[in-house]
Chain A
Amino acid sequence: MHDMITLRDLQVQFFAPKKLIRAVNGVNLNVGQGEVVALIGESGSGKSVTLRSIMRLHSERSTRISGGLEVDGKDVLKMSQRELAALRGDTVAMIFQEPLLALDPVYTVGAQIIEAIRRHKKVSKAEAHKQALSLFEKVRIPSPERRLDAYPHEMSGGMRQRAMIALALSCSPKVLLADEPTTALDATVQIQILLLLRDLQKELGLSIVFVTHDIGAAAEVADRIAVMYAGKIIEQGPAAELLTRPRHPYTLSLLKSRSHGAMQKGQRLETIGGAPPDLSNLPAGCAFAERCKYAVAECSSVQPRDETLSPGHVVSCLRVHQIPRINPVAAAAL
């Protein structure tokens, strides 16, 4: 089994007036065939930028991407525009947070899906319509025949998200990139979409990279979780292990604030003081050092290296062996 996505020391920089924004600073990540990886982190941590780089969606003029970036064994950074167009949709497809912005408001959703199918496959209009219908059934849209003729604004938020998933699957991609697909949805609809993604992944053997700031959503779908901070993956590992045995101080405090029962009434919440660093002016050492209660002087001058603690569990922290081991989920359940 080979990896569908390989990121090696990926760096993404944006040119802004008078400064360089280092949005992604050396990300290493493998996504296997049929694997679901969740990238979690706060805003500005580089999770969406990483995701978009996989399809090279950033403006070529104002972005510099370096490092290794392979999808299905092919080097994406060396691809011509024509090769990229073939990659997008056929091998890799993407769904976004806000389907109302991602779908074209002046075409019916059916027309958009048929267009995508015919752009990539040599099929008749009738055949494409048939495929679109079966996609709508696959994403469990009720009365699919009628919904194909609906405009995006005529559908509810959950239905639109299902339609966008159908559109993304229209060319049978091997990899699905999902950028906060459930963030804009209500709680009772969010869980429906998460379960749908899980079912589709099993049925189609998709590899999924799922970007979210919601650890709960990640826990529902991901095989592996990678935690990002200031453009780096600071910890990654199998979902259950990362959630119950986190080793990086940032992951630890993030989980402590969210797990069930962690928010005890009448108690103050444990907070991480300060704010994430400025991406155009990153510190020399660990980017989290300034907010980390375990930091020593060395942390602010030396870049931590990735250390493999157990198979697949990689942490980037100088003090990893000095930090107490806590199970935030179990601790909260007591």
Chain B
Amino acid sequence: MTDERDIGGPRQPLLQVRDLLKHFPLKGKGLPFASPRSAVRAVDGVNFDILKGETLGVVGESGCGKSTTARVLMQLISQDSGELVFDGETVGSRALPLRQFRRQTQMVFQDSYSSLNPRMTIEDSIAFAPTVHGLPSREAITRARDLLARVGLQPERFAGRYPHELSGGQRQRVNIARALALEPRLVILDEAVSALDKSVEAQVLNLLLDLKQEFGLTYLFISHDLNVVRFISDRVLVMYLGQVVEIGSSDQVFDQPKHPYTRALLKSMPSMDPLQRTMEAPLAGDPPNPINPPGGCRFHTRCAYAQPVCSQRAPTFSSDDSGHGVACLRYEADTASLFDHAPSEASHA
């Protein structure tokens, strides 16, 4: 599909994220004893690209900064530092003012109920943004009805309903239709299917695949469900405590994970087979607090391979030729030799 909005051509990433940093300071009325310097380091120097037409999956545990990243990408909150480049233009620059950027980027949230206005019919909810952006209201309503039909809700039956009259799966379809109403190029799905029952989740995932093809969309798909991420993503990004620890194609990350955290995360998936049950938890303890992340490599406190150097030196992120990138001292030329006595590869296969 050719798109006249495509400025940079197919090789230009749709969105480049450069050194993104977002800290939430812990001071003010609520927390009288917090030292003025402390902050939740939610996103701490994140770099990645979203290529045109791909689905980039983001996985990580709660508190790893995946939702904050999404909110900064949407510019719902502004970053402390770092740059977003959308199709070659810096977001917020004169070439791409915020308002124009927002038309091209839309988001679907986890809670389908609280993200819809309870006092608006779903048709009005979907038509709202296009009218704000200047579409005559009659055309906006026509578009809303088309979109409802497209997401599998017959407009004659559903257009006049209120959110509470719909099931969770139907409401999430409305949210998807609303996100598409502005004809965006990038859709951020933040745990968009996580609250749905499995049979409904499958329906919505199929719908997302169809819509992507039909409208030539690019997805950023955030989820804690690794099965779903593997299914839908072309490439996958793994976050831990506000940083990217691994990025690669879906097959690379799931079949040949490099970072010890990615391996542990994959091994934590229940086996689905009572005859091959997990005998030992791959990681002990909970993820550390992002207020005071450990120094050096942030994962060293839970890592089976950790050596003394890991607590002193932060790894730098580097990618191989195939685009499989990892931030781990085991893969850095000058420190790799320090890991000879680490647990064997086989135990983590």
Contacts and interface: CB of A to CB of B under 8 A. Distances in A.
Give the bracket for the number of chain B residues in contact with chain A: 35 or more
A173 to B, nearest CB: 24
B268 A269 contact: no
Given A220-B277, A271-B206, A159 B61 contact: no
Nearest to B227: A263
Contacts of B202: 257, 269-272
B238 to A, nearest CB: 12
Interface hub of A190, A239, A263 (most chain B Cβ within 10 A): A263
Interface string B126-164: 000000000000000000000000000000000000000
Given A222-B274, A257-B202, A269-B205, A191 B286 contact: no
Interface string B201-214: 01101100100000
Nearest to A44: B197
B34 to A, nearest CB: 15
A187 B265 contact: yes
Interface string A5-21: 00000000000000000
A213 B198 contact: yes
A291 to B, nearest CB: 8
Contact of A219 (B61, B209, B268, B271): B271
A189 interface: yes
A243 B273 contact: yes
B338 interface: no
A158 B285 contact: yes
A192 B278 CA distance: 10
A60 interface: no
B304 to A, nearest CB: 12
B286 A189 contact: yes
A217 B62 CA distance: 19
Nearest to B226: A187
B281 interface: yes
B231 A263 contact: yes
Contacts of B224: 186-187
Contacts of A275: 167, 169, 200
A232 to B, nearest CB: 17
Contact of A188 (B270, B272, B282): B282
Contacts of A214: 270
B287 A269 contact: no
A323 interface: no
Nearest to A291: B199
A272 B284 contact: no
Interface in B241-296: 250, 264-265, 268-275, 277-278, 280-287
A239 B276 CA distance: 12
Contacts of B102: none
Interface hub of A157, A269, A273 (most chain B Cβ within 10 A): A269
A115 interface: no
B103 interface: no
A123 interface: no
B96 interface: no
A306 B56 CA distance: 46
A59 B167 CA distance: 26
Contacts of B271: 216, 219-220
Interface string B166-210: 010100000000000000000000000000011110110110010
A187 B61 contact: yes
A77 B287 CA distance: 44
B303 interface: no
B228 interface: yes
B230 interface: yes
A263 B193 CA distance: 15
5 contacts: A189-B61, A219-B270, A258-B227, A269-B205, A329-B273
Interface of A: 42-43, 142, 156-159, 186-192, 194-195, 213-217, 219-220, 222, 239-240, 243, 253-254, 257-260, 263-265, 268-273, 275, 329
Interface of B: 61-62, 167, 169, 197-200, 202-203, 205-206, 209, 224, 226-228, 230-232, 250, 264-265, 268-275, 277-278, 280-287
Given A187-B226, A188-B61, 4 more contacts: A192-B281, A195-B280, A243-B272, A275-B169
